[in-house]
Structure 1
Amino acid sequence: MKANTITRFSTTTLALCGLFLLGSHSQAAEKDTLNSADVKFVKHEAAAGMAVVKLAGLSAQKASRADVKAFAEMLVTEHTKANEELTKLASTKGVELSAVIDPKHAETFQKLEKTESADFDKAFLAEMTSGHKKCVSNFEDAAKDSKDSDLKMWAEKMLPTLKTHLEQAKELASK
């Protein structure tokens, strides 16, 4: 009788341990759902988004034209929100993002920081036009080709805003 109780207890314990192991394994598998192309997109656009906020923050302080300053402030607000959304999405998908601005964007920041105010607006708008062209193209590809439905939906949601930013940058640059 005592042996029977111990056997049942041991079997129940083993079964529960197995369930816990399976449960934790399936949660880890659910978290890491992005393929390499999607991970590359997330990491690239997180870095680009962080750079836009930093460059636009500089422009909000340094631009000579009021319309360029207003554009820069809008970029800071909208890209900060987008960066927060992307960071949250990346976290749920098991993608770690760098908190450090990448060297290419840091170099651009330093170059703009040294640009005289007369040329600053033009240089900033050229950078925003070029960067947003690449960004729109990357987001169009992700919206079409991403294998992850959450990432695909987020890219689709962001496209109209990014296209608007591109058009605004072009319009301001033409003045």
Structure 2
Amino acid sequence: MKKLLILSATFLTVWMTQSCNNTAKNPQSETPVDSAKDINETVKPVDEKSSEFAVEAANGSMMEVEMGKLAQEKAQSTRVKAFATMMVNDHSKAVDELKALAGTKGITLPAELSTETKKHIEDLGKKTGKEFDKDYMSMMVDDHDKDVNKFEKAGDNVTDEDLKTWARNTLPTLKAHQDSAKAIKDALKK
């Protein structure tokens, strides 16, 4: 009887050791190949036209945020400062939404402003008082005229449905910015 108990205990110990080692060496859960496969399935690349629109939209919004920050500091008019705050808030939100969307589409958005845009902002930063306010608002009118046009076209022509929807949903905000910029620019002429 003792021999049977010892033999059973030995067999049980060997079996448990092998079972534990097999689980540790050969997990049945997720393998690296499965992980890579899942990641590739969540990224859905887009066509060149859709990607170009996303990059242009990101550049434009990043520029609006930086110019808005500059105007919050330098503007003389309280209306211009309020407009600048709206630019920072709305365009920061737009960039964040676009970054999230771009991540699911395999689109690489710019991490910073172009050298040309930085120079443009630097030149604006050299102005003061009413001259700054007028130039900033003039640039905002011009920029939003271009943005509204681009987003209207994107809403019709971009082939990626998610980017098309984002463009259409962002367009009313851009039109509101355009109207506000024109009204403030006109008021500064007086």
Indicate whether the TM-score tops 0.5. yes
Aligned-residue RMSD, C-alpha: 2.2
Look up the match of 1:83: 95
Q: Sequence identity of aligned pairs in percent? A: 33
Look up the match of 1:138: 150
1:142 and 1:152 in contact (8 A); partners too: yes
User: Where in structure 1 do 4 or more consecutive aligned residues deviate above 3 Å?
Assistant: 20-27
Q: Take 1:87 and 1:158, find their aligned partners in 2: how far apart are those partners?
A: 14
Say if 2:84 is the partner of 1:67: no
Look up the match of 1:33: 45
Among 70, 86, 91, the residue aligned to 1:58: 70
Mark the runs of 5 or more structure 2 residues left unpaired by the alignment.
1-31
Look up the match of 2:55: 43
Q: Deviations over 1:76-124 (max 9, x none)?
A: 1111111100011111111111211112221210111001222000000
Q: How many residues align?
A: 160
Look up the match of 1:15: none
SS in 1 for 2:165: helix
Q: Take 1:134 and 1:119, find their aligned partners in 2: how far apart are those partners?
A: 23
Look up the match of 2:24: none
1:49 and 1:83 in contact (8 A); partners too: yes
SS in 2 for 1:98: coil
1:33 and 1:148 in contact (8 A); partners too: no
Look up the match of 1:161: 173
Q: State which structure, 1 or 2, has the greater radius of gyration over its C-alpha atoms.
A: 2
SS in 1 for 2:152: helix
Say if 2:135 is the partner of 1:123: yes
Among 109, 115, 123, the residue aligned to 1:97: 109
SS in 2 for 1:174: helix
How far is 1:30 from its partner?
5.2
2:151 and 2:168 in contact (8 A); partners too: yes
How far is 1:55 from its partner?
0.1
Residue identity opposite 2:120 in structure 1: T
Mark the runs of 5 or more structure 1 residues left unpaired by the alignment.
1-19
TM-score by length of 2: 0.77
Q: Take 1:75 and 1:100, find their aligned partners in 2: how far apart are those partners?
A: 17
